[in-house]
Structure 1
Amino acid sequence: MLRHDRLQRLAGSLVMSAFMSMALSGVFSLLEFGVSWLWLRVWGQSILIALPIAFSLDMMFGDSLRFFSKRVADKAARAWL
């Protein structure tokens, strides 16, 4: 069971960090360069830089941040009742 949980955490961190690094590097490089071939090249390079950073940060702080966001969501839900 422990191995399954660890694999699930790694997969979740990889998926989330990949999505966020692609989305954010794409948006910010698009704002800088506009739609062009240069933008696509810079975006690809940015993903290669952002993905390992985002994955590392998610592995270090992901559990704490998910716990914190759950607490905030719970408080907000109780406030709406």
Structure 2
Amino acid sequence: VNDSNYFLYFTYLSRADDEQGWTTRYAGIVEPNIQIYLGEMTGAEVGRLDRVAVQYVAFKRDKEFSLKAPVAVETHLDTTKFFKLHCFR
């Protein structure tokens, strides 16, 4: 969800703990005030989703704007909760 008035050049990446490099799951430009579909995963894919990262750069097209610093966030996921039904009620 891009709830801002900026376009975002956005990348979503994942990595399993036993891997050295990152896998790009999505890369593209997200328009202001819009939601995008990032895809589906099988249970096996979710089990290998140990770390995720998001990187983005905010900008406006065809008008002046305040310069924003690029953002990169990396976090560890506890994927066991994806398989517990009571976690989503």
TM-score, normalised to structure 1, is: 0.29
Task: Identify which of structures 1 and 2 has the higher relative contact order when contacts are C-alpha pairs closer than 8 Å and 6+ apart.
Answer: 1
Q: Which has the higher helix share?
A: 1
Q: Which has the higher strand share?
A: 2
